[in-house]
A = this chain, B = another copy of it.
Amino acid sequence: MPDSRPIGVFDSGMGGLTVLSELVQSLPAEQFLYLGDTARVPYGSRSPRTVLRYSLEIASFLEGHNIKMLVVACNTATAHALEDLKKRMSVPVVGVIEPGVRALLSRTKTGKVGVIGTRSTIKSGAYERAIQSADPSISVISQACPLLVPIVEEGWMNKEFSRLAVREYLTGMSESGVDAVVLGCTHYPLLRSVIASEFPGFELVDSSVEMSRAVSAIVSEKSLSSTGPGGVRIMVTDVTEQVADLQHLFFPHPVERTEEVVVPEIQTEP
């Protein structure tokens, strides 16, 4: 029995479109409903409690749109909200961290792996915990790289500037014997070739690719597949100047429509 309900995908902003891009290629018959919280981006510099609240609000909003699965494309939201989302949602919830970690562990030979991401993702320790609960013998070196997101959004991936920043952030990791690095932020796949050319010794793990494999596996295992037609609807919480540019940068595929929505707030005392 085909299941034509959409798959919900959410991110703090437009970066999660790199994940959606992999998903539509792996699952062309599925309907996708993407929510980018552009009114409140970036989650990477918010407190864990605030990120949790925003994530719950969005999950509840997407549940109201009858999704059959929730894909948390945002590393920061996965770090701070995945466990709560899994408990509260009746549909399967997939975060971006576990699939990346599995790939990382399968590729390292030295047993030293690297994690790069936003300040908040790194500070959360979520990747370290996932890696060490899977294999406690692995050493993890983490590095927050706050400038890489604005470099990508400025379109400066191929400037000298971008090489300098990559070198500044990753040299220590390379000198420590790390041989596999997970790109722990949705924007980083666009810097993959710069990182690869500066640090050819690294096996680079692209979370969006790994996540799309995990989603395909769950769709199949839980008999959730649709027989089509596939399609993509993009919703944002603020139509900013950048929305169209970033959509074009991160998602070079057709989109049925892009629209602004209001996600109802859950106001809590601090």
Contact = CB atoms under 8 A, between A and B. Distances in A.
Provide the main secondary structure of the chain A interface: loop
Nearest to A149: B150
A45 B238 CA distance: 10
A242 B45 contact: yes
Contact of A168 (B147, B153, B161, B265): B161
26 contacts: A38-B45, A39-B46, A40-B40, A45-B240, A45-B241, A45-B242, A46-B240, A47-B238, A47-B239, A119-B242, A120-B240, A146-B153, A146-B154, A147-B150, A147-B151, A147-B154, A147-B156, A149-B150, A150-B150, A159-B168, A160-B164, A161-B161, A161-B164, A261-B270, A262-B269, A265-B265
Contacts of A40: 39-40
Contact of A50 (B45, B156, B164, B238): B238
Nearest to A161: B164
A260 interface: yes
Contacts of A134: none
A47 B239 CA distance: 6
A147 B147 CA distance: 8
Given A164-B164, A262-B270, A241 B123 contact: yes
Interface in A42-73: 45-47, 50
A150 B119 CA distance: 12
A261 B45 CA distance: 17
A152 to B, nearest CB: 11
Nearest to A40: B40
A141 interface: no
Contacts of A238: 46-47, 50
A165 interface: yes
Given A47-B240, A159-B164, A265-B265, 19 more contacts: A39-B46, A41-B45, A45-B240, A45-B242, A46-B238, A46-B240, A47-B238, A119-B241, A123-B241, A146-B150, A147-B150, A147-B154, A149-B150, A150-B150, A260-B270, A262-B267, A262-B269, A262-B270, A265-B267
Nearest to A42: B42
Contacts of A45: 38, 41, 240-242
